[in-house]
A and B are shown apart, each in its own frame.
Chain A
Amino acid sequence: MEDVNQAKQYLQQHSDRTGINLYDHLTELLAQVLEKRPRNPADVFENISSQVKRDRFNLESIQSPLGYKKKPEPNPSLGQVNKLMTVFQSVKRSEDGNDDAAGQVPDILELSGLFEWAGVSFGKEETFLLALSIHQLVQETGLQSARFWGKLSARQGAYYVVEAEGAPPVEDDPEKVAADKAAVEPAKPPPMDVPEFEGFPDIKRPVDMPLPKEEGTGVNKYTYFVCTSIGEAWTRLPDLLPEHVTAARAIRKYLTGNLSTPIVSYPLYPGTEAHYLRSQIARITAATVVCPLGYYTFDPESADEEHPETNTAIIVNTEYEVLPNDALLSLENWVHQIPHVLPQGRTTWVNPVKPRGEGEDEDADREDGEGEDDDDASGDATGGASEREVEPETGPALLTSITEDAEFAGHPAWSVRACSRLQPSKFSPVHLRSNRWPGAHAVYYNGKFACVYVGDGLKDLGGEPTPMPALPPLQVEFKDEALVELVDPSVKDEKAFEEMLKEKEDDAQPDEEDGEEEPAD
Chain B
Amino acid sequence: MNGSNLHVDTFGSKGIGLSTEERACLATSLVGLTSSQAFSSADFWGKIATADVSKDYYVAVAYHGDPFAPTIFMCQDALNWVQAPNVTDDEMHAAADLRAAFMGDPAFEFPLPNGAAGTLPEAKRLTAVVQCILRDAHIVPRGAYFRDSLGKLQRNATFAGLRPHDVTRLASYVHLRPAATSDAQLARPDFEDAVDVLDTVEHDQPKGCWVVEKSVMNVVLSSLIWPGYHHATSVADASFASIYVGQGKKNLDAGFMI
Stretch at the interface among B49-57, B63-71, B121-129: B49-57
Interchain CB contact under 8 A, A76 and B167: yes
Query: Which of chain B's residues 234-258 have a Cβ closer than 8 Å to chain A?
Result: 235, 245, 247, 252-253, 256-258
Q: Which residue of A lies closest to B100 (CB)?
A: A463
A98 proximal to B (CB < 8 A): no
**Is B224 part of the binding interface, using a Cβ–Cβ cutoff of 8 Å?**
yes
Contact with A along B1-36 (1 / 0, CB 8 A): 000000001001111111111100000000000000
CB pair B215–A80 under 8 Å, yes or no, is yes
Q: Is B227 on the interface with A (CB-CB < 8 A)?
A: yes
Which of B13, B168, B227 touches A126 (beta carbons < 8 Å)?
Answer: B13
Q: Report the separation of the CA atoms of residues A318 and B147 in the bound assembly, to the nearest whole angstrom.
A: 69
Contact check, B21 vs A419: say whether CB atoms are below 8 A apart. Answer: yes
Chain A proximity of B218: nearest CB distance (Å): 9
Nearest-neighbour CB distance to chain A for B82, whole angstroms, equals 17
15 CB contacts below 8 A, A to B, read A73-B165, A76-B164, A76-B214, A81-B216, A116-B18, A116-B20, A120-B15, A120-B16, A158-B213, A252-B253, A409-B51, A411-B103, A417-B52, A420-B21, A460-B247
Which of A75, A119, A153 interacts with B222 by CB under 8 Å?
A153
Stretch at the interface among A236-244, A291-299, A430-438: A430-438
Q: Which residues from 458 to 512 on chain A have a C-beta closer than 8 Å to any C-beta of chain B?
A: 458, 460-466
User: In the complex the two chains form, is B101's CB within 8 Å of A126's CB?
Assistant: no
The distance from the CB of B216 to the nearest CB of chain A, in whole angstroms, is: 4
A117 within 8 A of B: yes
Q: Is the CB of B21 within 8 A of A466?
A: no
Alpha-carbon distance A463/B252, docked complex (angstroms)? 12
State the Cβ distance, A273 to closest chain B Cβ, in Å.
Answer: 13
Decide yes or no: A464 and B21 within 8 Å by CB, A120-B15, A153-B222 being known contacts: no
Given A415-B54, A417-B53, A417-B54, residue A464 in contact with residue B15 (CB < 8 A) = no
- Minimum CB–CB distance from B20 to chain A (whole Å) comes to 8
Chain B residues within an 8 Å CB radius of A435: 51, 101
Residue B163 is within 8 A (CB to CB) of chain A in the complex: yes
Say yes or no: is A15 at the interface (Cβ < 8 Å to chain B): no
Contact A423 B16, beta carbon cutoff 8 Å: no
- The residue in B52, B101, B208, B258 that gathers the most chain A C-beta atoms within 10 A of its C-beta is B101
Chain B proximity of A140: nearest CB distance (Å): 24
Are the C-beta atoms of B164 and A411 separated by less than 8 Å? no
Assembled-state Cα–Cα distance A461/B163 (Å)? 40
A252 CA to B54 CA in the complex, in Å?
29
Q: 7 more A-B contacts (CB under 8 A) besides A77-B216, A121-B16, A154-B211?
A: A76-B168, A126-B13, A417-B53, A421-B77, A431-B53, A456-B227, A466-B253
Residues of B with C-beta under 8 A to A119: 16-19, 22, 47, 245
B99 contacts the other chain (CB 8 A): yes
Selected contact of A122 from candidates B13, B19, B22, B213, CB within 8 Å = B13
- Measured CB to CB, the nearest residue on chain B to A126 is B12
- A122-B12, A123-B13, A466-B256 known; A155+B208 contact, CB < 8 A: yes
Q: Which B residues are within 8 Å of any A CB, using their own CB? A: 9, 12-22, 47, 49, 51-54, 77, 99-101, 103, 163-165, 167-168, 208, 211-217, 222, 224, 227, 235, 245, 247, 252-253, 256-258
Q: Which of A80, A117, A252, A418 has the most CB of B within 10 A?
A: A117
Q: Which residue of A lies closest to B24 (CB)?
A: A422
Chain A: CB-nearest residue to B99? A463
Q: Which A95-125 residues have a C-beta within 8 angstroms of B?
A: 115-123
User: In the docked arrangement, what's the CA distance between A152 and B257, Å?
Assistant: 15
Tell me the smallest distance from the CB of A92 to a CB of chain B, in Å. Answer: 25
- B17 & A116 in contact (Cβ 8 Å cutoff): yes
Interface residues of A in 242-301 (CB under 8 A from B): 252-254
B18 neighbours in A (Cβ, 8 Å)? 116, 119, 121
Closest 6 CB pairs of A and B: A121-B17, A123-B12, A417-B54, A454-B15, A463-B100, A415-B53
Contact, CB under 8 Å: A120 / B101 = no
- The verdict on A416 contacting chain B, using a C-beta distance below 8 Å, is yes
In the complex, whether A210 has a CB less than 8 A from a CB of chain B is no
- Closest beta carbon of chain A to B18's beta carbon, Å: 6
Complex Cα distance, B43 from A215, in Å, reads 52
A residues near B167, Cβ cutoff 8 Å: 76
Complex Cα distance A75/B218, Å? 12
Partner of A463, one of B17, B101, B211, B257: B101
Give chain B residues whose Cβ lies under 8 Å from the Cβ of A121: 12, 15-18
Write out the residue numbers on chain B whose beta carbons fall within 8 Å of the beta carbon of A415: 51-54
Question: Do A461 and B165 have beta carbons less than 8 Å apart?
Answer: no
Q: How far is the CB of A130 from chain B (nearest CB, A)?
A: 11
A79 CB, min distance to chain B CBs, angstroms: 10
A residues within 8 A CB of B252? 466
Q: Which residues of A lie under 8 Å from residue B257 when comparing CB positions?
A: 252-254, 458
List the A side residues contacting B53 at CB < 8 Å: 415-417, 431-433
Question: Which residues of chain B are near A158, meaning CB under 8 Å?
Answer: 13, 213
Using Cβ atoms and an 8 Å threshold, which residues of chain A touch B214?
Answer: 76-77, 80
Least distance between B191 CB and chain A CB atoms (Å): 22
Q: Considering the chains assembled together, what is the distance between the CA atoms of A122 and B9 in angstroms?
A: 8
Residues of B within 8 A of A422 (CB): 21
Q: Are B213 and A464 in contact (CB under 8 A)?
A: no
How far does the alpha carbon of A462 sit from the alpha carbon of B54 in the complex, in Å?
Answer: 19
Q: Which A residues lie within 8 Å of B77 (CB)?
A: 421
The minimal Cβ–Cβ distance linking A414 to chain B, given in whole angstroms, is 9
Residues in A with CB closer than 8 Å to B20 are 116-117
A89 interface contact, C-beta 8 A: no
Partner of B163 from A73, A77, A126, A419 at Cβ < 8 Å: A73
A371 within 8 Å of B (CB atoms): no
A279 vs B105: C-alpha distance in the bound complex, in angstroms? 35
Return the chain A residue nearest B253 by Cβ: A466
- For the complex, give the distance between the alpha carbons of A73 and B162 in Å: 13
A113 to chain B, nearest CB (A): 10
Cβ of A156 under 8 Å from chain B: yes
| Interchain CA distance A466-B253 in the complex, whole Å | 7
B193 to chain A: closest CB distance in Å? 26
Return chain A residues, CB-CB under 8 Å to B213: 157-158
Q: Which residues of B contact A29 (CB under 8 A)?
A: none
In the complex, are the beta carbons of A120 and B17 less than 8 A apart?
yes
